[in-house]
Amino acid sequence: MKLSRPRSSLRRTVTTVTVAGLLVGGLAACGGSDDDATTGDTGDGTDTAATSTDGVDDGTTLTMWTRAPLERQATTLVDAYNASHENQVELEIIPNDDMEGKVGGAATNSELPDLLAGDVVRLPYWVANGLFADLTDQIDSLPYADDIARGHVDAGTDADGAKHTVPFVTDISVMAWNKDLYREAGLDPEQGPTTLEEFKEQALAVAALGKDGVSGTYYGGNCGGCGVFTLFPIIWASGDEVLSDDGSEALLDSDSAAAVFDTYRELNEAGAVGAGSKEEDGSTWTAPFSNGSVGVMQYPNTAVYAAIEAGIDVGVTAIPGVDGGESTFLGGDAMGISKDSEHVDQAWNFLAWLLSDETQLEVVAKNGEVPSRNSLLDNEYAAADPIALTMNKVVASGRTPVAPYFSEAFNAAGSPWVQLLRNATFDGTGTLEADNAAITEVLSQ
């Protein structure tokens, strides 16, 4: 198994798939300090900072915000916590496209919730603008601190090394295929692609069935988040990087990156890509596969079980590189305690519970999700579910790219990354060198 390389100075971030353009106005101008939130200062000189790993469970009502794409996971966790604690969490689900504006306005007016979850590609920006309490002492005091998945912690770690977030929901990208369509196409239904070329051949084989409404593959051709989530792992698995170590330079004009884009262009030219890919902005990105109309594609693990529930016989493996290897995009949301919380100890009670063995096994793993503790990835629920076991093993080869202006360069609507993706796979216009330079220009601002 190909392990990820060590990352340097700047903290690594992660992306969730369907992120649309993020507005940056408002957050950069946020005022105020998170000192009070960090210490739990009540204003009367009493320091109420958490002094144990469990925090306080005294019947306090806590507020929490999370994005709509993670509603199912968030609701499951909150319901489990509320059923077992005196504290009660009031969960507010915010439409994905509204999250940035709502957080920016609330931060400006000191109205953030107690617990704030966010797409990890955006967390470095939020942390840099003082939206979260410093949880370094609380996190480091956990007996399993070194066992926590690092990507979500690193995403909320500032330049001085202060930690502000922990994993909330882990999402990874996998290669998924429709076993029934593979059987019809004469392919081995138990063997997914192990190289980029095999991916192309298998997609072409399904497309050659000529079934109405069925395509070989599908991708979010107008969705920056979809693109980084699904295509970056191919480049990593090939032994190349997508960004410089400090996140200020794009490296998407490499030979392996060119091979990825050429493959998708060839699939488009062959008519093997599903109708709608060119316009797909992420809002319906997972639907064609779960509807049974796609042979093989990179897919979010959080959507795999929905496809299975829809009746699809799904095969899952790691995303391969050009000539082999494997990788995944470690994505999802991290969570911290906001600068405006007056209940830091109680909010920490939720976070400590979230990371505990019992929660990670009996709530997260039991429901088919990826645990946020490395030692718990191999568990009884995964062992009984071949797909879950495969997805959990993929985590070891996962990567998490980081850049302060990641969202602006990649996820935003009309970003230079979206333009590169469209130019290189649909239109055949522009050059990788020029489009890569445009991404670097945004990253290095």
* pLDDT (0 to 100) of residue 50: 35
* Mean pLDDT, contiguous 10-residue spans, the chain (445 residues): 29 30 30 35 35 79 93 95 98 89 96 94 87 97 92 88 94 95 98 98 98 97 94 97 93 97 97 96 93 96 88 96 94 94 98 97 91 90 84 81 86 93 90 96 94
* pLDDT (0 to 100) of residue 43: 36
- Measured in whole angstroms, the distance separating CA 51 from the mean position of its chain's CA atoms is 31
Of 264, 256, 410, which is closest to residue 322 (Cα–Cα)? 256
CA distance 34 to 131: 7
* pLDDT (0 to 100) of residue 53: 61
* pLDDT (0 to 100) of residue 395: 83
CA distance 377 to 393: 7
Of 277, 292, 166, which is closest to residue 230 (Cα–Cα)? 277
In a 13 Å sphere around the CA of 173, the CA atoms on its Cβ side amount to 33
* pLDDT (0 to 100) of residue 149: 84
- Measured in whole angstroms, the distance separating CA 290 from the mean position of its chain's CA atoms is 20
Residues near 288 by beta carbon (within 8 Å), at least 6 away in sequence: 215, 218, 274, 276, 294
* pLDDT (0 to 100) of residue 393: 82
Sort 146 into a burial class: Cβ within 10 Å, 0-12 / 13-18 / 19+. Answer: exposed
Structure tokens at 166: 């922990």
* pLDDT (0 to 100) of residue 33: 33
* pLDDT (0 to 100) of residue 3: 27
